[in-house]
């Protein structure tokens, strides 16, 4: 039975690609108002796990649920509707459009399939609603001053935050972030971490895949460690840091 605090439950998840078992009997959960980091060496199964949750891949076994509702093999639009939003490893903003336009278009694309055409057919009232929602999320992430700047003129750190604003437009309960700190400068990482803590403290949950250990150890409430498709450890940053199995996996011993 699921306890009331469980938002995302991954229960004996499995994914096989031909003869390769990318995710092998992995179980963990994400509670409400919690930041969980998924770490592990290259090829450990982090991206595959992420893609199982977001509906990009279909499971070979196990059960994944959001607030008790089974999302196994649910298509990505369905998973979004259940309150799970994601950002991607590489920035996908349109550089010569404004921050506002990027967030508004992204928000619209998430809600509807095949949306570029339908966006052009929006009536004035719908367009105004969409822009207002986008502006609200831009303010929430602290980028109001940049709202009319071209996305391509922002720093990489600010661009990552624009992507988060875009994800927030669907009003998610759970935010999935794929390597959000990659390529950022120290100060930008600190600003990103502060934003994620702010979102968590407002009631949101975050599941992130991240290679930057400093960032993860400073930010995560809990860490799940994968190696060769299997969960080898789970615990607080302090416990994970000194876990012999984790150290061994990272040293490749
Ligand atoms: P990570 O994100 O932790 O680096 P992945 O989840 O990308 O690891 O990969 C886990 C394993 O699954 C690797 O051995 C990888 O080669 C394999 N794999 C991932 N995606 C596919 C795919 N589409 N087809 C075949 N093998 C895959
Ligand atoms: Mg990966």
CATH domain 1-83+172-253 topology: Rossmann fold (3.40.50)
By CB atoms closer than 10 A (0-12, 13-18, 19+), residue 120 is: exposed
Nearest CA to ligand 1 atom 17: 22
| Per-residue pLDDT tens digits for 60-82 | 999 999 999 999 989 988 998 89
| Span from the CA of 117 to the centroid of ligand 2 (angstroms) | 32
Q: Distance between CA 65 and CA 125 in Å, rounded?
A: 36
What pTM does this model have?
0.91
| Span from the CA of 232 to the centroid of ligand 1 (angstroms) | 17
Q: Distance between CA 119 and CA 189 in Å, rounded?
A: 34
Q: Given the CA of residue 45, which atom of ligand 1 is nearest to it?
A: 6
| Span from the CA of 43 to the centroid of ligand 2 (angstroms) | 7
Q: Give me the pLDDT at residue 113, please.
A: 44
Ligand number with the minimum distance to the CA of 45: 1
Nearest CA to ligand 1 atom 21: 17
The pairing of strands 20-31 and 69-70 is unpaired
| Per-residue pLDDT tens digits for 78-133 | 998 899 998 876 667 899 999 999 999 877 665 544 444 455 667 777 788 889 99
Residues with CB under 5 A from ligand 2 (ion): 47
Q: Distance between CA 163 and CA 156 in Å, rounded?
A: 11
Substitution site in 15, 17, 49 for ligand 1 pocket (most atoms within 8 Å of beta carbon): 17
Q: Give me the pLDDT at residue 128, please.
A: 83
Q: Give me the pLDDT at residue 251, please.
A: 75
Q: Where in 60-209 does DSSP place strands (E)?
A: 61-66, 69-70, 84-86, 174-178, 205-209
Q: Give me the pLDDT at residue 114, please.
A: 45
Q: Give how far the C-alpha of residue 111 lies from the chain's centroid of Cα atoms, to the nearest Å.
A: 17
Q: Where in the chain does DSSP place strands (E)?
A: 6-17, 20-31, 35-39, 61-66, 69-70, 84-86, 174-178, 205-209, 222-227, 230-235
The domain locations on the chain are 1-83+172-253, 94-171
Reported ipTM: 0.98
Q: Given the CA of residue 47, which atom of ligand 1 is nearest to it?
A: 2
Residues of the chain predicted below pLDDT 70: 1-4, 89-91, 108-121, 252-253
Q: Given the CA of residue 49, which atom of ligand 1 is nearest to it?
A: 6
Q: Give me the pLDDT at residue 73, please.
A: 84
Nearest CA to ligand 1 atom 12: 22
């Amino acid at each position: 039975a699921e306890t009331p605090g469980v938002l995302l439950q991954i229960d004996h998840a499995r994914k096989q690609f031909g003869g390769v078992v990318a995710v092998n009997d992995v179980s963990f959960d994400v509670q409400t108002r919690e930041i969980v980091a998924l770490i592990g060496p290259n090829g450990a199964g982090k991206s595959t796990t992420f893609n199982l949750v977001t509906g990009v891949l279909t499971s070979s076994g196990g059960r994944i649920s959001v607030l008790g509702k089974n999302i196994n093999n649910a298509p990505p639009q369905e998973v979004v509707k259940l309150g799970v939003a994601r950002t991607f490893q590489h920035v996908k903003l349109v550089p010569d459009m404004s921050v506002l336009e990027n967030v508004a278009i992204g928000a619209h694309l998430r809600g509807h399939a095949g949306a570029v055409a339908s966006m052009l057919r929006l009536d004035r009232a719908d367009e105004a609603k969409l822009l207002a929602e986008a502006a609200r999320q831009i303010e929430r992430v602290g980028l109001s001053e940049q709202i009319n700047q071209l996305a391509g003129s922002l720093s990489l750190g600010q661009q990552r935050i624009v992507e988060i604003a875009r994800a927030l437009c669907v009003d998610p309960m759970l935010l999935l972030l794929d390597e959000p700190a990659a390529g950022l400068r120290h100060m930008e990482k600190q600003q990103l971490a502060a934003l994620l803590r702010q979102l968590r403290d407002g009631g949101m949950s975050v599941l992130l895949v991240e290679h930057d250990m400093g960032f993860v150890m400073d930010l995560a409430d809990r860490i799940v460690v994968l190696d060769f498709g299997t969960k080898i450890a789970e615990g607080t940053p302090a416990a994970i840091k000194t876990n012999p199995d984790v150290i061994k996996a990272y040293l490749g011993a």
